[in-house]
Structure 1
Amino acid sequence: MKQLNSGKNKELDDYCHYLRGNSFRHLKLFQEAKKELNLVTKNFVYYPLVNKVLGESSSELKEFKKAIYYFNEVEKWPNLDNQGIKIGGIYIDLGVCYLHLNQFEKAEKYLLKSKYLLEKENNKESLFLLYTNIANLYYIQFKDKQAIPYFEKGYSLSNKINRFDLKYRASKNMSVVEENRGDFKQAIVYRKESEQWKDSLNDQNKVWAVADFEKKFAVAQKQKQIKVLEVENRLKNSQRNWLFFSAISLLLLLTAGIYFYAQKVKNAKIILLQKNKLDELNATKDQLFSIVSHDLRSSVNALKTSNAKLSATLETKNYDELNQLIIQNSGIANGAYSLLDNLLHWALLQTKQLYFHKESVHLFSIVQQIEYNYKSLLLEKSITFENSVSRNIFIFVDLDSLKIVLRNLLDNAIKFSNENGKISFYSVETHTDFCQLVLEDTGLGMSVNTINELLADNELLAKKSNSEIIGTGLGMQLCKQMIKKNDGTLAIESEVNKGTKMILSFPKTNQNG
């Protein structure tokens, strides 16, 4: 039944249906046997056996025509010996079915065919049943002369058989024969013999009944033991499952605890790192605001002092000094404006509010615009400016951020250049997808340590060797961040008192290759 319920193997299902059907027949549950056997497919290798059992079940149910159909199907099959079927037995079954249907000619035909085969095999029990059936065939047709020899043969064979039911049947048949002959004395002898065999048969049946009862009792006891064991197994399984699930639950709780503890530690580390970073940024911010406010205060104070001098000079009408003061005021105002402009752009960059739009830019024209903006400062210090950038170069950058970078770098170059110095912008061909723009001055220059500080990726401010703050370093930080956002790079080459080279690399526009 487990196999049939799985339905995974059709060939194995056929075996299961046949075995169940045959078992039902032995239990005399003939209808159930037929239902089960009809589920066997015709591809089943032992299908003749299926038809044989169907025929026997139909015969027991008095469905003789159906039985004949099934036995005929068996008869048609070649090589019945390979199926474990004796054709002589099939002939007997067909003969008996026709006998019950009163089709005596066909019954005689099959029974005699069977007689020919069974006498060769010398199977005494089968021959006894055959002789009895042939005798009955003739006897019900009132052919006593033909029937009696077969009854006698059957009786003779019964003496060689150890079955009480067949001995009882043979002696009873002979008692009837003798009664019909009129030999009542001999009939009584056979009748007494049949009664003896009947008593023996009953005794045997009682013994078998007792044995069957004992067997059933033993089976029941075993089943009770099995049920007790099943209950014990279920209890053990329940205990084992409870222990297993408890262990799993504890493991899950432990894992969850470890996970949450690890997350807590991780979050604590992140918070600590963020706090340290925030403290650093706040310190930088405070320092920056302190310096910016100091520089602005100094610029405003210088402008205030210069304006006082300017008022006094107006009274004395010293026009040469007046001109110098106006130029000085302009320089102070420009410095303060540059500081505020850098502070604004730095704040926008830090808060990600600065708008970036990359486009193709003509580099020579941009350098020319920057030169124009700083013409007055260049003239004031008599600095020579040279724009040697190639007119064929286009770079792919954000225009506004590029101007901020170039203005800051040029402003620093002017600030740290001596009078009558020189500042040059020129390009270098690298045969790559990047263009190099060099800003070179003949100013104060700087040491290797100062270069490293300027290029370091931090928020520290520029300092002198004596730790006096001379500037916010904001312009340089702003330049580095904007160069990076434009996918560019910055390098510095410098020696003290020999000038400085600020080397910028920016991606070319595709059309320049």
Structure 2
Amino acid sequence: MIKFKLYLISILFSFPLILHSQDKSENDIIKKKLQKKVVEYKSEINFIKSQSFFFKKDWDSSIVYSMKQLSLNKHKELNDYCHFFRGTGFYSKKLFKEAKKEYLQVSNQFTFYPLTQIYLGGVLLELREFKNAIYYYEEVIKKPLIQKQTYSINKIYEGLGNTYSCLKKYKEAEKYLIKNLQSKEENINKTELYNAYNSLANLYYAQYKDKQAIHYFEQAYLLSKQIKDFDKKYLSSFNMAAVEENRGNFKQALVYRKESEQWNDSLYNQNKVWALADYEKKYAVAQKQKQISVLKVENKLKDTQRNTMFFSTLGLLLLLVGGVYIYAQKVKNARIILTQKEKLDELNTTKDQLFSIVSHDLRSSVNALKTSNAKLTTSLETKNYSELDQLLHQNSAIANGAYSLLDNLLHWALLQTKQLYFSKDSVHLYSIVQQIEYNYKPLLLDKSIAFENAVSKNSFIFVDLDSLKIVLRNLLDNAIKFSPENSKISFYTVETHTDFCQLVIQDSGLGMNQNTINELLEDNELLAKKSNSEIIGTGLGMQLCKQMIKKNGGTLAIESELNKGTKMILSFPKTEQNG
């Protein structure tokens, strides 16, 4: 059962690559030819727009303008191009039946008719019309021109190999998949080579040739470490988990299984979790309001019963009691008004602080974006691509900084208005650090920063889990922000032989002087000001961390030197599991 499941997943991942792993040479040839056609048919606006959107991979727009051009029915050659655009667009949108219809309408006089046949073979393979797919692949491979095009031959080899594999004609499949692998080993394209390894591994695994299959699964897994595609990383580790389970090596299988689950987590899944949490929060608020309404009704009934009893038993003292009651109500109302006034003053102070932060720091971020975009426009006009790339990365960093600021503002506001609830429990520190590392994996990879999780696996602390994650995310985000490329960030614990667990976050970044450290640790300021104006930041994240650490009964200390890095030392109460 495990082999069958693994084989299916691998094949389904590899099918789309048959069409969309376009070689740079292929794109250049198509683009060069189309540029000539644009000049030749410069009056055909719909055709020009369709080809433009085609290269931008705006498939919907390309399909629409191709249809408009086809409705004019002016030139047979332009019609072929439009059917080609529409077929490729439908394939990209996984509308395989529509893609098949469009490709079949391309005439055999079309410039890229051989390439269209290859693409049609890929579409038929997706539709599981295996015999028809083989027909088109074998027809096009006979053409002399195709034999000179490595990228086209590779698509045919891979398509035929996968098709014969689905038909369980394993000898024919092996012949073509080996040719595909040999060709890709010469070109040294890591992504294409990964696909070739995976296809051969699946082929052998389907035949229960475990020794050969495992060799290629291992090659694919090792190569996936050098590829940034998270889907491929997930697939390779998932396959290795299945391999180890079949071997009976369940301990190693569990390691691969955890790795595959980590790669499978994505920003999309996180958004789904956040949406679910938001829904649960709204539901909880609605339930709370319902309870309040019930309590109001109950209070009214109790008031009625009390007043009835009061007036029936103390009729003679009605005036006196009435006077006392009126006085008591006035006192009560005065206290309520005073309490509300104090709360309103507190909320106004919080509001003023929030407006101050937003007006100052978001204005800084927006101004930085404005200045950077002005430079970006100049770079585009002068075609200074080096500076253009630098400015784009700078804009991305500014946007990320603004997003972090808004996220911290939300949590800080909730904390100040006492809407952020704390529920302490025993937490396994090593696992939490591992989760935080995964969340920031893309940022770590982008700056080539090594991450070391040296936290003791026996460390259990008694804290609120959500606030702990906010603290660790903020501190890791700062460490990445102020660390140079190719540096290292370490999380480790220090045994103190006390009731507190000490966690150290160490980087080799910019560091800070003692005055800056003192400002960060002060409790009487909302923000810690930075002397370097080129670094966008507010210190709000640090203020948020301090308050949440304090709420959890912990402490924070900082050790740092300029240009030598920083140690953030956190202490949290241990749980009884630590002994």
Fold agreement, TM-score > 0.5? no
Scaled by the length of structure 2, the TM-score of the pair is 0.37
Highest Rg: 1 or 2? 1
